[in-house]
Structure 1
Amino acid sequence: MSNNDNNNPIDPGEYKKITEAMYKQNLELARLYKEVDHLNKELGTANESLKELIRQRESLVHLVTHKVKGSFTRSKYIFAEILDGTFGEVNDEIKKRAQQGLDSENMGIETVDLVLNVANMQKGTVKYDMKNVDLKEVVTKTISEKKDGAEMRGLKIESEIKEGEYAVMGDPFWLKEVVNNLIENSIKYTKEGKIVVGLERNDKKIKLFVKDTGVGISDEDKKNLFTEGGRGKDSVKVNVDSTGYGLYSVKLIVDAHKGRVWAESEGPGKGSQFYVELDAV
C-alpha cells in the first residue's frame, strides 16, 4: 500500500467552507483595522482640541485673575489711605468699615494668587529652588503671622514642636505656602476653639501637623479633599466663598517635594487633623 493511500483527502466542500471562513475573517480583520485607524485619528483630533481648550482656559485664567487682582489692589490702597488719614480724620464706624474692606481686599488678593499658583503648577511652569530648609523656622514664622487673624475670629493658635532638628530639602517659599494654606484652611472652617500647629520627627521622616476643632470631615469627603475644587459638604455650609484650591495647592506642592499629605477626622463636627510628611536631611 502506497503512502498516498494513507492520506485522507480534504473534502472539496469542507475546503470551500474553510477558505470562505478565512476570507470572512480577513475581511473582519481589515474592517477592525480601519476602525482602529479611524478611532486613532479621531483621538488625535480630540487630543489637539483638548490641548487647545486647555490653552484657552489657561489664558482666560491668567487674564481674569490679573484683572481681578488689579481691581482688588486698587481698592486695597483706597481703604488703607482712609485708615492712615490721607483723606482726613474719620469716625470709628468708618474706620471699622474701612478695616473690614481692607481685610476683604487682602483676602481677595490671596485667593487670586492661589488660583494663579495652581494654574502655574498644573502647567509645570513653577520652578522650585530646592535647598536645605529649617522647617521649624518656617512653621514658627507662619504661626506668628496668622495669630492676629485667628484671634480676630476668636480662635487660638498653639505651637507644639518637639525638640529636634527639622531640616528638609525644599523650596522655602512653597513650603511656607503649605503651612500657610493648612492653617488658613483650619481658620476658615473652625468656628470656635483652637488650632494646634506642630512638628515631630520619626527616624528619617518629618511630620508637620495642623489640628483644629472645626467642622470635621466625613469619610466620603476625604476622597475629594485634596482634588481641584474639592470641598466637603459641611465645609461649604461654613465657608461658601471658599474656592477649594487651598488644599489642592498643598497637594501639588507636597508632591513636588516627594512627600505625602493626608487628613484624618472622626467625622463631621469632630475637628480635623492635616498631616504632611517629608524626608529629613
Structure 2
Amino acid sequence: PIFAIQGYIETLHDGAIDDPKVNKHFLEKANEHTINLSNLLNDLIDISMIESGEMRLSYRYFEVNEFLQAIVNHLKSLSDEKHLELIYHPCRANLKLFGDKYKLKQALDNLITNAIKYTETGKVEVLVEEDKKFGRIIVRDTGIGIPDEDLSRIFERFYRVDKARSREVGGTGLGLAIVKHIVEAHGSKISVKSKIGEGSEFSFTLKK
C-alpha cells in the first residue's frame, strides 16, 4: 500500500492535480490504500500482542442470541451490497457461553466477512449447536470453497489460496491467523470443512 500511495501522490504532483476528474480518482485510490494500510497495521499489532502473550482476555458468561444477532446486523450492509442472504438462526433462548465476547466478536467479524467476500451467490449462515457441555458457533457459506491441499494452511499469516482473487476482494491476509489465536486462547480449536463450488463451514466450541 505504501508504494501505491506514493505513486498516486507523485502522479498528482507531476500535473494530474490540475485535472479535477483525475485528481479525484487518484485521491480516492490513495485514501483506499491508506485505509488498507491502517487495517494491516492494526492486524499486525493484534497478532504480535497475541503471539507475545500480551493479549489479556476477560472471560465471562454472555447471552449468545443477543451477541450473534448484533454481529450479523452490523455486517448486513456487506451482504446486501452483494445481494447475499446473511442469516442468523437463533439458538435456544437464554443460552449463555463462556468467553471474552469482545475478542470473539473480532474473530466472528473476520469469519463472516471472509464468508461474504468469497461467496458470489446464495447465503451466509450463522448458527449454534449445543450439547451438555459446549456450544458450537458455526459460520457456513455457499461460496467458492477451499481446495483440500490448502485447508491445513489457511490459518498461516499472509497465506492466500487464490492470490489474484485475494487482491480483488481485499483484506490483510492476517484475519484467519487472528481467528485461530483467539479461538485457541479460549481452549478451543477452529474447525473447517469445505467443498469446491459448494461452500465452506468454520466452527469452534465454547464452554457452557
What does 1:132-281 correspond to in 2, within 5 Å? 132-233=61-162, 236-240=163-167, 241-266=170-195, 268-280=196-208
Report the equivalent of 2:53. 124
Matched residue SS, 2:190: strand
Distance 1:97 1:149 in 2: 24
Distance 2:39 2:85 in 1: 22
Distance 2:112 2:189 in 1: 17
Post-superposition shift, 1:158?
0.8
Q: Could you list the per-position Cα deviations for residues 248-277 of structure 1 after superposition, in whole angstroms to 9, with x for gaps in the alignment?
A: 1111001111112111012x2221111111
Higher relative contact order (CA 8 A, sep 6+): 2
Q: Could you list the per-position Cα deviations for residues 165-209 of structure 1 after superposition, in whole angstroms to 9, with x for gaps in the alignment?
A: 432221121011111111011122112221111112122110111
Aligned residue identity for 2:48 = A
Matched residue SS, 2:108: helix
Quote the sequence identity (%): 26
Distance 1:104 1:206 in 2: 39
Matched residue SS, 1:161: coil
Relative to structure 1, is the Cα distance of residues 258 and 121 closer, same or farther in structure 2, using a 3 angstrom cutoff?
same
Q: Which protein shows a greater Rg?
A: 1
Report the equivalent of 2:18. none
* Pairs aligned (count): 186
Aligned residue identity for 2:92 = E
Contact 1:195 1:212 in 2 (8 A): yes
Contact 2:136 2:204 in 1 (8 A): yes
* Structure whose residues are more often helix by fraction: 1
Relative to structure 1, is the Cα distance of residues 273 and 145 closer, same or farther in structure 2, using a 3 angstrom cutoff?
same
Q: Which aligned runs of 4 or more in structure 1 are off by greater than 4 angstroms?
A: 96-108
Runs (5+) with no aligned partner, structure 2: 6-23
Q: Could you list the per-position Cα deviations for residues 106-140 of structure 1 after superposition, in whole angstroms to 9, with x for gaps in the alignment?
A: 55533432221111111111111112222322211
Aligned residue identity for 1:224 = R
Matched residue SS, 1:275: strand
CA RMSD of superposed structures (Å) = 2.7
Matched residue SS, 1:265: strand
Post-superposition shift, 1:161?
2.4
Aligned residue identity for 1:274 = F
Distance 2:153 2:132 in 1: 30
The TM-score normalised by the length of structure 2 is: 0.78
Distance 1:237 1:189 in 2: 13
Q: Could you list the per-position Cα deviations for residues 39-59 of structure 1 after superposition, in whole angstroms to 9, with x for gaps in the alignment?
A: xxxxxxxxxxxxxxxxxxxxx
